[in-house]
């Protein structure tokens, strides 16, 4: 096989991937699609260049326009999130987390963080970035049914253990973290409060979840491609001392990266500008859709966690599907039926059943991005319940493809374009 055959084979697979998602309902809680203007940034010459260091203090020439772009992205980020410090250089949410870890913590230091089975992120686990840094991890007590930290018990833990950093943020982030409720404990322990907003960054920007900085966080990290519908990239936001911010920025460069993917940073800037105009409307509908879908799925006999608090206040919710064969089987059956969600640990799994956990995780941020409302979200939930009870269904797959075809434009952005159109132009 010649090189051109290999290249065409890869292209063929990419096109088949496009077709699959064009005809499927995407419910992965950590994904989204960008606007056409943001997508354009990824194809520019910026993607081939280097800009080590901070704007106007680079180690390379040729950064005259890059510096102006980065200045504007920082300005937009500060406006969107109401902070005085922003660093858009991290290339992912985990890279942002690792930068903060290297900037604020040394091996042997103590950090408090959510437990993995309680919805915590792998970067804060013993086998993730926190553990690899050699930190002493303590986990907050949490309520299993709502996967939420219990403020009184967590406050006692923080006062007793006095961690250097208290981390809040989850990959299953159903309800706001109890920052205000734990403020006295933070002060008594003398800790830095770090909020990992990867999943809910767009909801924070749209004023639909919580405002971590105003509620006591010193630093926020995040991915920029989940509820914030931008490129796969990362960001760090701060409201801390200049010296601590310098430590964090050194954790970014030269601590954990060299060049910072300039095309993605430019795309992030476009996304932040669009968020100023459309972010609140978009975030509000994302949450409405999540609650509608969760309510419908629960009414169909599927145990959705968090019913006592309305299932969710974010873009995501989780369901216990042990009665239908477990998370692995249910996620595979849904995929065969044109609905893409992921298996997920639930509190009683105790981190041991990651390949066949009890639950599935569902997110509504991408379907909202193409115009779904509550009625469509409920329709998807009814079909999900059918597949859980009856197995893979060609009828459901066809119905989901028909539904998807009715929503052919990316919304809440500057300009309109059909999803996946940006790859089709190369045919």
Residue 121 vs residue 220, higher pLDDT: 220
What pLDDT, on a 0 to 100 scale, did the predictor assign at position 420?
56
d(CA 16, CA 26): 16
Whether 425 shows a pLDDT value over 50: the answer reads no
Residues 6+ apart with CB under 8 A from 303: 319, 320, 321, 323
The whole-angstrom separation of Cα 82 and Cα 77 is: 8
pLDDT number for residue 49: 97
Angle at 136 between CA 133 and CA 139, to 5 degrees: 115
Looking at every residue in the chain, the average pLDDT score rounds to 94
Vertex 39 angle, CA 35 and 44, to 5°? 150
pLDDT tens profile 359-407: 999 999 999 999 999 999 999 999 999 999 999 999 999 999 999 999 9
pLDDT at 408 over 90: no
The pLDDT assigned to 427 comes to 34
Please give the pLDDT value at position 417. 64
Residue 326 near residue 342, CB atoms below 8 Å: no
Q: Say if residue 424's pLDDT is above 50.
A: no
Give residue 1's pLDDT: 65
The region of weakest confidence among 232-241, 296-305, 344-353 is: 344-353
Structure tokens of 125? 């686990």
Q: What is the DSSP string of 366-392?
A: HHHHTT--HHHHHHHHHHHHHHHHH--
Residue 119 has pLDDT above 90, yes or no: no
Helices (H), 213-322: 242-250, 262-299
Q: What is the pLDDT of residues 127-176, one digit of tens each?
A: 677 777 888 899 999 999 999 999 999 999 999 999 999 999 998 999 99
pLDDT at position 124, please? 67
Could you give the angle at the alpha carbon of 274 between the alpha carbons of 270 and 277, nearest 5°? 155
- The per-residue pLDDT for range 185-219, each reduced to its tens digit, is 999 999 999 999 999 999 999 999 999 999 999 99
Of 167, 165, 227, nearest in space to 195 by CA: 167
pLDDT interval class at 419 (50, 70, 90): low
- 64 Cβ neighbours under 8 A, 6+ residues apart: none
Look at the chain and count its residues: 427
Sorting pLDDT into bands at 50, 70 and 90, what band is 426? very low
Domains in the chain, please, with CATH? 39-272 (3.40.640.10), 279-424 (3.90.1150.10)
Instruction: Classify 315 as helix, strand or coil.
Output: coil
Q: In b/e form, how buried is each residue of 103-118, taking b as 16+ CB within 10 angstroms?
A: bbbeeeebbbbbbbbb
CA distance 118 to 140: 9
């Amino acid at each position: 096989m010649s090189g051109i055959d290999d290249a065409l084979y890869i292209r063929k697979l990419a096109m088949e991937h496009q077709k699959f998602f064009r005809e499927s309902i995407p419910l992965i809680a950590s994904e989204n699609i960008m606007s056409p203007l943001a997508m354009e940034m990824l194809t520019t010459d910026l993607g081939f260049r280097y800009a080590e260091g901070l704007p106007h203090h680079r180690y390379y020439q040729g950064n005259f326009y890059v510096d102006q772009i980065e200045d504007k992205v920082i300005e937009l980020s500060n406006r969107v999130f109401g902070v005085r410090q922003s660093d858009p250089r991290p290339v992912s949410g985990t890279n942002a987390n690792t930068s903060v870890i290297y900037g604020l913590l040394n091996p042997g230091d103590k950090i408090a963080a959510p437990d993995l089975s309680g919805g915590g992120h792998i970067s804060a686990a013993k086998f993730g970035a926190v553990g690899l840094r050699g930190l002493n991890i303590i986990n907050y007590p949490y309520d299993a049914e709502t996967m939420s930290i219990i403020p009184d018990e967590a406050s006692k833990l923080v006062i007793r253990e006095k961690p250097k950093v208290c981390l809040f943020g989850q990959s299953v982030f159903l309800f706001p973290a109890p920052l205000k409720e734990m403020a006295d404990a933070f002060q008594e322990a003398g800790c830095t409060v770090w909020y990992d907003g990867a999943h809910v960054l767009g909801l924070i920007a749209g004023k639909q979840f919580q405002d971590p900085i105003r509620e006591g966080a010193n630093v926020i990290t995040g991915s920029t491609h989940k509820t914030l519908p931008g490129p796969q990239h990362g960001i760090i936001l701060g409201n801390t001392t200049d010296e601590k911010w310098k430590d964090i920025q050194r954790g970014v460069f030269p601590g954990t990266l060299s060049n910072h993917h300039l095309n993605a940073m430019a795309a992030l800037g476009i996304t932040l500008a669009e968020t100023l105009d459309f972010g609140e409307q978009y975030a509000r509908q994302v949450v409405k859709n999540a609650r509608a879908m969760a309510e419908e799925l629960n009414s169909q006999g599927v145990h959705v966690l968090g019913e006592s608090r309305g299932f969710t206040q974010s873009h995501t919710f989780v369901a216990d599907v042990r009665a239908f064969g477990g998370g692995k089987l249910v996620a595979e059956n849904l995929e065969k039926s044109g609905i893409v969600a992921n298996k997920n640990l639930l509190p009683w799994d105790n981190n041991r059943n990651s390949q066949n956990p009890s639950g599935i995780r569902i997110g509504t941020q991408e379907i909202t991005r193409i115009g779904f409302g509550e009625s469509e979200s409920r329709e998807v939930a009814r079909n999900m319940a059918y597949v859980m009870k009856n197995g893979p269904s060609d009828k459901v797959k066809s119905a989901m493809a028909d539904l998807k075809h009715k929503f052919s434009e990316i919304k809440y952005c500057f300009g309109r374009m059909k999803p996946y159109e940006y790859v089709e132009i190369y045919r």
